[in-house]
Amino acid sequence: MKNLIIRVLSILLIFSTTISQPAVSQSFSAGTFVPRKNIRENINLDNLASDQTYKNSFKEVLKNINSGYQPTIRSLVSPTVDKKRQKRFEKSLYEAAKLWSPYFKPENVTIVYIGPKDSKWADEVVKTEKLESMLYAPISELLKGDGKCNFALAGKPNGNYTIITCLETDELKQLQDGPHEYTHFFQYSNNSIPDYAPCWITEGMAHFYGEAIGYSKSDKNRREGFKMYKSQTINFDIQSNKNRNKRTLPKLMIKNSVEVTKNLYQGMESPGAGGKASGCYVLGGMAFEVLVSKYGHQKVVEFMLKFNNSKDWKNNFKSTFGLDVTDFYSKMTPYIAFMGKKIM
Ligand SMILES: [Zn+2]
């Protein structure tokens, strides 16, 4: 059952195969037309090491939020939940629902909102709603710990798309929780989780879309985004599954070595999500910045939908993006080094 669990600690925390041609927009300059290139054309696999890469990827995502879809949600709300936080969570989740709606319109979405003092209520709801398979520990334990309650978990217990969340603060980064978890719903719908996609894809993708949809527009100089990456550098080696000094991963990243980059990603190829190495979020998130920036959102969709028909993710990657995933890792090396400096 553990495989069925998608868990996210937020403190660390499709059938259209038509690829639209990039539209070339034009702008006036000194009385003449100056064609402005589509944002995607500026990025190629040999010039990734720049802020433009992630900036373009965020723009690309926001551009694709253009449907009026809104899922029907059943909310279970504990007595002390901050209503404002609940509204914020819903609002950013709805944006993710719009983005994925051409490919995924779920029935039966349940969101359980828990206030930090409502563990008894939460334990009861887990029992009556049969949500045990989503949890690695009873809610009462999740709420104790360090006195914080920041978490959001997504799962599909009994076939129902479900999120359990406790929102303790008003921080900007919390706006990523809804889109992050909803992106996991989309992954469930194409069968990439729980068993087939490597963690850098599962969590990297959720992390990337969480940030892009949730708060990238309001995050000046990407302050919050880099802070979040920094907090997730503690564990990147699934095999040893040991926490490391936070600077170890950035130090490896800035080596700008193809071999080191390949090893880092190959160390995160085991399938699954949540509860694995936090490096899956960091390095996976950066990989999706590159994929979306270079190939566009629709290509990523095309890739994920292939899980419906084939579990061979490496082959799916190659047939979608036109290169071996190992070569992709190599090509990302300068970007990884560039980003390593940002999160030292
Ligand atoms: Zn996740």
Q: What is the pLDDT of residues 243-280, one digit of tens each?
A: 888 899 999 999 999 999 999 999 999 887 666 789 99
User: Does pLDDT of 13 surpass 80?
Assistant: no
pLDDT, position 170? 86
Centroid of ligand 1 to alpha carbon of 174 (angstroms): 13
CB proximity list for 175: less than 8 A, separation 6 or greater: 88, 92, 214, 215, 218
User: Does pLDDT of 14 surpass 70?
Assistant: no
User: Does pLDDT of 283 surpass 80?
Assistant: yes
pLDDT, position 146? 56
Higher pLDDT, 14 or 331: 331
pLDDT, position 242? 81
User: Does pLDDT of 26 surpass 80?
Assistant: no
Rounded mean pLDDT of 19-41?
A: 40
- Choose the weakest-confidence range: 234-238, 319-323, 337-341: 234-238
pLDDT, position 273? 67
Centroid of ligand 1 to alpha carbon of 201 (angstroms): 10
DSSP string, 28-54: EETTEEEEEPPGGGG--TTS--SHHHH
pLDDT, position 277? 86
CB proximity list for 339: less than 8 A, separation 6 or greater: 229, 253, 286
pLDDT, position 312? 95
| Long-range contacts of the stretch 187-191 (C-beta < 8 A, 24+) | 187/273, 187/304, 188/156, 188/161, 189/103, 189/104, 189/106, 190/14, 190/103, 190/104, 190/304, 190/305, 190/307, 190/308, 191/307, 191/308, 191/311
Centroid of ligand 1 to alpha carbon of 280 (angstroms): 10
Centroid of ligand 1 to alpha carbon of 177 (angstroms): 9
- Euclidean distance between CA atoms 187 and 148, whole angstroms: 28
pLDDT, position 147? 53
Centroid of ligand 1 to alpha carbon of 26 (angstroms): 39
Centroid of ligand 1 to alpha carbon of 37 (angstroms): 34
Q: Which of 61, 57, 62 is nearest to 42 (CA)?
A: 57
Report the percent of the chain where pLDDT is more than 90: 70
**pTM, two decimal places:** 0.87
pLDDT digits (tens, 9 = 90+) for 94-123: 999 999 999 999 988 999 999 988 989 999
pLDDT digits (tens, 9 = 90+) for 156-169: 999 999 999 998 88
Centroid of ligand 1 to alpha carbon of 28 (angstroms): 43
Centroid of ligand 1 to alpha carbon of 326 (angstroms): 24
Q: How confident is residue 195, by pLDDT bands cut at 50, 70 and 90?
A: confident
pLDDT, position 275? 64
Structure-block tokens of residue 159: 């076939």
- The one-character DSSP state at 271 is B
- Euclidean distance between CA atoms 228 and 17, whole angstroms: 33
Higher pLDDT, 245 or 88: 88
DSSP H or E run through 261: helix 258-266
Centroid of ligand 1 to alpha carbon of 184 (angstroms): 7
Centroid of ligand 1 to alpha carbon of 23 (angstroms): 33
Structure-block tokens of residue 291: 């994929």
Centroid of ligand 1 to alpha carbon of 33 (angstroms): 45
Q: Which residues surround ligand 1, an ion (CB under 5 A)?
A: 8, 203, 206
pLDDT, position 200? 95
pLDDT, position 43? 86
Centroid of ligand 1 to alpha carbon of 21 (angstroms): 31
User: Does pLDDT of 35 surpass 60?
Assistant: no
Centroid of ligand 1 to alpha carbon of 34 (angstroms): 42
Q: How confident is residue 10, by pLDDT bands cut at 50, 70 and 90?
A: very low
The mean pLDDT of the chain is 86
Centroid of ligand 1 to alpha carbon of 182 (angstroms): 9
Centroid of ligand 1 to alpha carbon of 203 (angstroms): 5
Higher pLDDT, 320 or 20: 320
| Pairing relationship of beta strands 6-8 and 151-155 according to DSSP bridges | antiparallel
Structure-block tokens of residue 286: 């950066």
Q: How far, rounded to the nearest angstrom, does the alpha carbon of residue 263 sit from its chain's CA centroid?
A: 22
User: Does pLDDT of 313 surpass 90?
Assistant: yes
